[in-house]
């Protein structure tokens, strides 16, 4: 048996360790050269490492979620003498790895990996005693006055019913079931009230989910947020959107609200430069950017990514829509490049159809502001003393209060509201 120790190679400039995200092989598996063996995540990317040789897997060093140092043994092979030779004057770091996807833009996080929080073990389910209700007609019956009146009028003894409500409360549905059953006494309450569950599952936070967790903690605890909410009448914007979609060419994408919001932000940002850029805690310097590079928070089956549409100030609405579709689609497919995921100066987060009424979005550190866009809906509003139906949209925003005053953040949102309520101004 010829044993070959394969060490974790250098997988990027300045990277000293990587997190094991997925093992593609198990002990005892036979692999061929260039077969994928493991996915490793760094602060900047997830890479798939191929096998350097043909052989059989003897051991794997590291569980999913463990950090492995560059140069340490990652996997041991039985190669039967076919192990690749390593020149003496080169580091035994293995083959060049193949980058398959970049997760998201992140400022390097210098915290050590934290052990997953373990829930206390429970030896057996906790049993909560449930007192049996007496069957005698003399027992106290829980029921609302309306239910009691209905039972009295129908000459039904409430004590003969087993209520399906909390603590055995008799409800109208119980009387309906009693009548439908020909006056027969109903049995036990529905399963929903009698089935108890006690299972506990533990999910280890690894990979991208861990990165998101650390980034959110850093943003929430290092940036003093203040939030601002406003509602916007997008009735005229909706009419414009419908008209443009009806006349669009075959090579033009269907327009949503986001491209208009992107263009409106790019239009007004020169008047609000304090909201567009970065604030790095260490050097105490605000970096205000002239380019408007908008991060678009995008939910994927692998977690939250923030692809970037760059230089929106130089785009028309069709270009903005096309680039938005391109970068968000690449993020969902896992094909986004590093350039697609870095460089945002302001972030937009939209929950689309599930947009709700309000939120307190967390700023994408080290940016200084974020805008949340909620679902547009038709509502009755007062205009000139009359109640009319208008299409309304809520906006939620958060700002870094260290460098942006409340009045400045409010002025940005009010300026944006003016543009969206009079959309012709976006293009003037």
Tell me the pLDDT tens digit for each residue of 352-405.
777 789 999 999 999 999 999 999 999 999 999 999 999 999 999 999 999 999
CATH T-level topology, domain 145-194? Dihydrolipoamide Transferase (4.10.320)
State the Cα–Cα distance between residues 305 and 232, nearest whole angstrom. Answer: 27
Query: Residues 6 or more apart from 390 whose CB is under 8 A from it?
Result: 233, 235, 378, 379, 381, 383
Query: Residues 6 or more apart from 165 whose CB is under 8 A from it?
Result: 142, 171, 174
**Which one is catalytic: 225, 289, 401, 415?**
401
Domain 207-427: CATH superfamily, name plus number: Chloramphenicol acetyltransferase-like domain (3.30.559.10)
Distances (CA, A) of 240 to 234, 236, 244, 352: 10, 6, 6, 19
Going by the DSSP 8-state scheme, the letter that residue 85 receives in this structure is P
* pLDDT score, position 207: 78
Answer yes or no: 272 catalytic: no
State the Cα–Cα distance between residues 363 and 215, nearest whole angstrom. Answer: 10
**Which one is catalytic: 405, 408, 415, 422?**
405
Cα Dmax for the chain = 98
* pLDDT score, position 132: 46
3-101 has which CATH code? 2.40.50.100
Q: Where is average pLDDT lowest: 118-122, 261-265, 284-288, 402-406?
A: 118-122
| Residue linked to tokens 């549409």 | 309
Residues 265-283 have a mean pLDDT of 94
Tell me how crowded residue 213 is: count the other CB atoms within 10 A of its CB. 13
Tell me how crowded residue 229 is: count the other CB atoms within 10 A of its CB. 15
Closest CA to 393 of 232, 281, 275: 232
- The pairs formed by 330-335 with CB atoms below 8 angstroms and a separation of 24 or more are 331/298, 331/300, 331/305, 331/307, 332/298, 332/300, 332/301, 334/100, 334/101, 334/300, 334/302, 335/101
- C-alpha 20: how far from its chain's center? 22
* pLDDT score, position 178: 82
Q: Where is average pLDDT lowest: 54-63, 186-195, 415-424?
A: 186-195
Q: Where is average pLDDT lowest: 210-219, 263-272, 320-329?
A: 210-219
Q: Where is average pLDDT lowest: 165-169, 171-175, 212-216?
A: 165-169
* pLDDT score, position 259: 98
* pLDDT score, position 82: 58
Domain boundaries, the chain: 3-101, 145-194, 207-427
- What is the pTM (predicted TM-score) of this model? 0.62
* pLDDT score, position 68: 86
| Residue linked to tokens 């076919």 | 82
Distances (CA, A) of 133 to 130, 168, 170, 189, 328: 9, 8, 12, 12, 58
Beta bridge partners of 67: 19
State the Cα–Cα distance between residues 193 and 372, nearest whole angstrom. Answer: 39
* pLDDT score, position 126: 45
Tokens of 323: 């680039």
pLDDT digits (tens, 9 = 90+) for 195-232: 778 889 888 888 777 888 888 898 989 999 999 999 99
- C-alpha 192: how far from its chain's center? 31
pLDDT band of residue 93 (cuts 50, 70, 90) is very low
Higher pLDDT: 45 or 271? It is 271
Length, in residues, of the chain: 428
- C-alpha 358: how far from its chain's center? 16
Higher pLDDT: 149 or 316? It is 316
Residues 87-100 have a mean pLDDT of 45
* pLDDT score, position 114: 41
State the Cα–Cα distance between residues 311 and 135, nearest whole angstrom. Answer: 75
> What is the helix (H) or strand (E) element at residue 382, kind and residue range?
strand 377-383
Higher pLDDT: 226 or 337? It is 226
Higher pLDDT: 338 or 90? It is 338
Higher pLDDT: 337 or 135? It is 337
Answer yes or no: 401 catalytic: yes
Q: Determine what percent of the chain is predicted with pLDDT higher than 90.
A: 45
> What is the helix (H) or strand (E) element at residue 31, kind and residue range?
strand 30-31
Task: Give the mean pLDDT of the chain.
Answer: 83
State the Cα–Cα distance between residues 212 and 365, nearest whole angstrom. Answer: 11
């Amino acid at each position: 048996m010829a044993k070959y120790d394969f060490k974790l190679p250098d997988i990027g400039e300045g990277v000293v360790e990587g997190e094991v995200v997925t093992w593609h092989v198990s002990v005892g598996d036979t692999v061929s050269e260039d077969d994928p063996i493991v996915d490793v995540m760094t602060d900047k990317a997830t890479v798939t490492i191929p096998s350097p040789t043909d052989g059989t897997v003897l051991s794997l060093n590291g569980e999913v979620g463990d950090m492995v140092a560059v140069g340490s043994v990652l996997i041991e092979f039985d190669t039967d003498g076919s192990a690749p030779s390593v020149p003496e004057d080169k580091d035994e770091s293995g083959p060049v790895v193949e980058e398959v996807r970049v997760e998201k833009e992140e400022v390097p996080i210098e915290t050590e990996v934290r052990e997953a929080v373990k829930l206390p073990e429970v030896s057996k389910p906790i049993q909560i005693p449930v007192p049996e209700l007496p069957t005698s007609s003399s027992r106290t019956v829980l029921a609302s006055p309306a239910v009691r009146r209905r039972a009295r009028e129908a000459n039904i003894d409430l004590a003969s019913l087993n209520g399906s409500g909390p603590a055995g409360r008799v409800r109208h549905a119980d009387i309906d079931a009693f009548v439908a059953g020909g006056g027969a006494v109903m049995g036990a309450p529905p399963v929903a009230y009698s089935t108890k569950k006690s299972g506990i599952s533990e999910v280890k936070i690894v990979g991208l989910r861990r990165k998101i967790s650390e980034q959110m903690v850093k943003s929430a605890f290092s940036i003093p947020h203040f939030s601002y909410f406003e509602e916007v009448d997008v009735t005229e914007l909706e009419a414009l959107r419908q008209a443009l979609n009806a006349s669009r060419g075959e090579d033009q994408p269907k327009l949503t609200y986001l491209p208009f919001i992107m263009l409106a932000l790019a239009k007004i940002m020169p008047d609000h430069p304090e909201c567009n850029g970065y604030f790095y805690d260490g050097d105490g310097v605000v970096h205000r950017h002239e380019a408007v590079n908008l991060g678009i928070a995008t939910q994927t089956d692998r977690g939250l990514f923030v692809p970037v549409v760059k230089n929106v100030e130089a785009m028309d609405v069709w270009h903005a829509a096309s680039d938005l579709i391109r970068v968000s689609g690449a993020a969902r497919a896992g094909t986004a490049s590093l350039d697609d995921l870095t460089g945002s100066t302001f972030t937009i987060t939209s929950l689309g159809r599930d947009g709700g009424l309000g939120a307190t979005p967390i700023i994408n550190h080290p940016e200084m502001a974020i805008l949340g866009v909620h679902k547009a809906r038709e509502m009755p509003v007062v205009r000139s003393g009359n109640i009319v139906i208008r299409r309304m949209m809520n906006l939620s925003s958060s700002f870094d209060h260290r460098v942006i005053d409340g009045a400045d953040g409010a002025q940005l949102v009010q300026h944006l509201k003016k543009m969206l309520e009079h959309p012709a101004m976006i293009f003037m």
